[in-house]
A and B are shown apart, each in its own frame.
Chain A
Amino acid sequence: MAKFTKKKDGDLPAVSTASLPDIVFMLLFFFMTVTTMKDSSLLVENTLPNATEIKKLEKKDRVIYIYVGKPTQEYQKVFGTEPKIQLNDKFANVDEVGTYILAERAKKPQELQNVLTTALKVDKNANMGLITDIKQQLREVNALKVNYTTYEGDAFNNLQ
Chain B
Amino acid sequence: MNRNRENPEVNAGSMADIAFLLLIFFLVTATIQTDVGLDRKLPPKETIPPPPVNERNIFRLSLNKNDELFVEDGIMELEDLKIAAMAFLDNGGVPKGNENHCGYCKGTGSPDASDNPVKAVISFNSDREASYGMYVSVQDALTAAYNELRNRESQRLYGKNYVDMEESYYSDDMSHEEKMALQREIETIRDMFPMKLSEAETISKLN
Instruction: Indicate whether B147 reaches chain A with its CB closer than 8 angstroms.
Output: yes
The 0/1 profile, CB within 8 Å of B marked 1, for residues 14-27 of chain A is 00011011001101
Q: How far is the CB of B32 from chain A (nearest CB, A)?
A: 5
Beta-carbon nearest neighbor of B170 in chain A: A58
The answer to whether A37 touches B29, judged by C-beta atoms less than 8 angstroms apart, is: yes
Given A56-B36, A124-B133, A127-B130, check contact A35 B78 (CB 8 Å).
no
What's the count of A-B pairs with C-beta under 8 Å? 171
CA distance A34 to B34 in the complex (A): 9
* Interface size counted on chain B using CB atoms at 8 A: 51
A residues touching B (Cβ–Cβ < 8 Å)? 17-18, 20-21, 24-25, 27-28, 31-32, 34-38, 49-58, 63, 68, 117, 119, 122-129, 131-132, 135, 138-140, 142, 144-152, 155-156, 158-159
Q: Which of B22, B31, B127, B137 has the most CB of A within 10 A?
A: B137
Classify the secondary structure of A's interface with B: mixed
CA distance A124 to B134 in the complex (A): 8
Of A24, A119, A127, which one neighbours B132 at CB under 8 angstroms? A127
B133 to A125, Cβ gap below 8 A?
Answer: yes
In the complex with contacts A28-B19, A150-B136, A37-B130 CB distance below 8 A: no
A17 to B128, CA, bound (A): 62
Complex Cα distance A57/B33, Å?
Answer: 11
Chain A minimum-CB-distance residue to B41 = A144
CB distance from B78 to the nearest CB of A (A): 7
- Could you list 15 A-B pairs, sorted by A, with CB under 8 Å? A20-B16, A31-B26, A51-B37, A53-B38, A53-B143, A119-B37, A124-B132, A127-B130, A128-B127, A128-B132, A131-B135, A142-B45, A148-B40, A155-B141, A156-B79
